[in-house]
Amino acid sequence: MFTYRHEVTRADLARHAPFANQPPRTIAMTGASGMVGAALSAFLTTGGHRVLKLVRGKPTGADEVAWDPAGGPWDASPLESIDAVIHLAGENIAGRRWSEAHKRRVLESRTVGTKSLIDALATLKQRPKTFLCASAIGYYGASRAEAVTEDAAPGDDFMADVCRKWEDASAAAAALGMRVAQLRIGVVLSPSGGALQKMLPAFQFGVGGPVGKGTQTMSWVSLDDVLYAIHFLVMHGTASGAFNLTAPTPATSASFARTLGAVLGRPSILPLPAFAVRAAFGEMGEALLLGSIEARPTRLEALGFRFEYPTLDGALRHTLGRG
């Protein structure tokens, strides 16, 4: 535990250091209670920045602001003169099977919520200079035969439609004079949530393995590198447009299973057949578990961003405390 905390502290300080000559920012954040948002809020505040958390319901502290992601009117005056907005909020995509009602909630939580946020920012006399909006590599569709960079065309399935409309909604902030960046986030590795949290029990008991044929590509990224990339884009005054937040070394489902098993010291040879995925999860399983996307972080690396955990083995050993 001490070794892990020392490593995190060292890396965090190293990420703040290049921007030490810039003034601290005041940043509004939606989705601050989620896996990424909670960790990002802690990272930013320990670096000297102030985070105003946009919450549904009544605020419980000086750094919370009530907002209405459903599109109703809300008072944005506490956001007057802030420097940036990081918009992460949205209905959990992988929380359940995709019924038509759930798919509608997924889409509207992103498009309506983004419009509500930007409409409120438009009422401010001094608006933020920067608007970062979450998206996902689902923008490219569930599967692509070729590797994709940020200039690739969107896919034509449900997830691609959600991401495209979400990004289109966020682009309205540019008309208000804000620098806008869309964060196409890959599979975030953390034992506290997301795909890795769901996989861990099976692998820890030695009954984990690849999903389906195991040949599909997983564009993963460590949680730490998601935080560092978002911070980098906030502080980088000219970065705009879409950015793939994915590690530079994607893995197949089979190689991911082998690596996770090796890190845990457990066998990883029992596959989860494709028919079982379809039976248990339906369309959601087809897209998120059997899909294959190799998304490259081309634009992020071109700006000089360096990944702390570029390899899967290193990322898993760090986040699982097996270094």
pLDDT on residue 2: 87
pLDDT above 90 (res 280): no
pLDDT-based confidence at residue 113 (cuts at 50, 70, 90): very high
- β-sheet bridge partners, residue 30: 87
- Asked whether residue 177 is domain-assigned, the answer is yes
Task: Give the position of tokens 């490593």.
Answer: 7
Q: Is position 180 within any domain?
A: yes
* Average pLDDT for 288-296: 94
The stretch 281-301 carries a mean pLDDT of 93
Cβ-contact 317, 262 below 8 angstroms = no
Q: Is 71's pLDDT higher than 90?
A: no
Return the ∠ at Cα 188 (arms to 185 and 194), rounded to 5°: 120
Q: Say whether 53 sits in a helix, a strand or coil.
A: strand
Mean pLDDT of 215-231: 98
Q: Is residue 265 part of a domain?
A: no
**CA geometry: angle at 296 spanning 162 and 139, to 5°?**
10
CA 81, CA 66: separation in Å to the nearest integer?
17
pLDDT at 15: 97
* pLDDT computed for residue 10 by the predictor: 95
* Residue 94 neighbours by CB distance under 10 Å: 14
- The percentage of residues in the chain with a pLDDT greater than 90, rounded to a whole number, is 88
Residue 95 pLDDT > 90? no
Q: Which of 243, 245, 108, 253 is nearest to 195 (CA)?
A: 253
Say whether pLDDT at 117 is over 90: yes
What confidence score (pLDDT) does residue 262 get?
A: 97
For the segment 287-294, the average pLDDT, to the nearest whole number, is: 93
Helix (H, G, I), strand (E, B) or coil at 246: coil
**Structural domain contains residue 214:** no
Neighbour count for residue 17 (Cβ, 10 Å): 10
Alpha-carbon distance of 250 to 261, in angstroms, equals: 17
Confidence of residue 94 (pLDDT cuts 50, 70, 90): confident
Domain residue limits at 54 = 2-188+222-246+295-307
The encoded tokens of residue 34 equal 């989620």
| pLDDT score, position 323 | 73
Average pLDDT over residues 6-15: 95
Q: The pTM is what?
A: 0.96
Q: Residues 97, 41: contact at Cβ < 8 Å?
A: no
SS3 of 70, please? coil
In a domain, 318, yes or no: no
Residue 150, pLDDT > 90, answer: yes
User: What CATH number has the domain bearing residue 88?
Assistant: 3.40.50.720
Q: How many domains does the chain have?
A: 1
